[in-house]
A and B are shown apart, each in its own frame.
Chain A
Amino acid sequence: MQIPSTGLEAGVEGAVLKADVRDLDFYYGAFHALKRVSMPIHDHMVTALIGPSGCGKSTLLRCFNRMHDLYPGNRYDGGGIVLYPDNTNLLAPEVDPIEVRMRISMVFQKPNPFPKSIYENVAYSLRVRGMRNKNELDDRVESALKGAALWNEVSNRLNELGANLSGGQQQRLCIARALASDPEIILFDEPTSALDPIATASIEELIIELKEKVTILIVTHNMQQAARISDYTAYMYLGEMVEFGVTDQVFIKPQKKATEDYITGRFG
């Protein structure tokens, strides 16, 4: 399926495109939740989605891994999300959502470790891919846990239940789970909103480190967080993309009045 480029990606300093949202419309039943949304996602960068509650941030994020396909009545309608370099439209009906989810992983707002051991939680995304070799699994689990800065804390209790960890550790466990299978993009939906400030800081630090390995798209309510960790920022309002740009510019010199009002706290 060919989708005309919106040209939005132009003008951003030499970064390589990883994905491109083009004129995306999305409906929850009759409710029009995303209205002709377009935005680029740059490779090995952190892109933040901000906006008032209910504006459609999670909805947009969950389009990226076709989470909406799980529920009847949800409908992508026109437009698409093109993934580079292979130019696949993630939302095309002939593309299997499972394939999309194997390439694009996700971390949720509330940590949701499975009722399994720490080890099995991380190994899950590998087992789903049919990996059975014990040594290979061990290696990948270890490197994922190291990648999620959790290895030192759990290396001697890998067989304990994931739910026994603290909230921040659980969230890092979920990051390790997402990381284990080497995804191309990881989606974060307000990953720190259920955590205390110290755990939040460690997750933020981790996200910055992670962009060495993977492209990151993060929804956040916390303006400082967006400013601290993201390279690009998108401001959404009522299902529409109001402004997209390099984070520094969006925060220092927003193009639109609405963005400025939201960022300076006059609204939202």
Chain B
Amino acid sequence: MDMKLNNPVLSLELKTRMRSFKTVLGIIIYVGILLFVGSMYYAISTETYVYTGVEAVNANQLLGTTLYVIIAILQFVLIMVITPAQTASCINGERERQTLDLLLCTKMSTFDIIVGKLLSSLAYMLLLIISSLPLFSLVFLFGGITPWDVLSLFLFYIVTAMVVGSIGIFFSTIFKRAVVATVVSYVTIFAWYVLTFLIAGYQITMQHIENLSVQQIEVPFILYFNPLFGFGDIISRHLGAGAQNVFIDIFSLRTSSSASGTNIIGTPWIKNIILMCIITAVILGLSSIRLRPVKVCKKGNR
């Protein structure tokens, strides 16, 4: 088996990115935002606790977990904003720089090119996420959150970055201008989130109407397509055994037997990750077909 692990585009991008000042600046700004929000919260809440007189040990734990939730949400939002912006300029950027033809006339397939572009963006996102690690270690100090929690959170981040990044790439093969591609990516991602919730909400309402006696209803499958749902699930889990997925609370749903954690595939956030991987694969496939300059014509199609 001659499995090709080497991706020329990826190694090129890593090389040029690491030399770019923009990369360093990006990290500084990213960590800066997290640090600013984190310390703002810390400053406000310590004051509040002094006034309300919460017991010291509990206060620390509460502070730690809330800080964790705040940073986790903030980072989730940042990743969803930054990744599509990164990838939405990758193909049209090549076109603008007039290097696209040079890439396409090599032996690399359009799929190789697109995967290389996505991986390099993911590598950059990973760098940002890792650079936030010192902040998370601060959370460990307060207790309540384990390194495993943070690791699974980071995994979830990367998968989310992968799927929103591939949406950006798809639109960068369609729109000539990066700004347009970025905006359309944002709109698409937003619509995707809202629509899945709306459809789920509709399905839940219908079930309630049909069967008034039932207190709790199974999670509609479409919710597993929504990264926000998976994110809610993962954060709730990290907050401890008592905490339910916020969305499950909101909709007053019942997760199937898996909620107890016996079946790992059935865990909502894992299901979510699997579905996001499938979506990514489909989008990448579509993008590489779109980028292909010459389509093999079918017989009789003249």
A interacts with B? no
Interface residues of B (CB under 8 A from A): none
Q: What residues make up the interface of A, taking CB atoms closer than 8 Å to B?
A: none
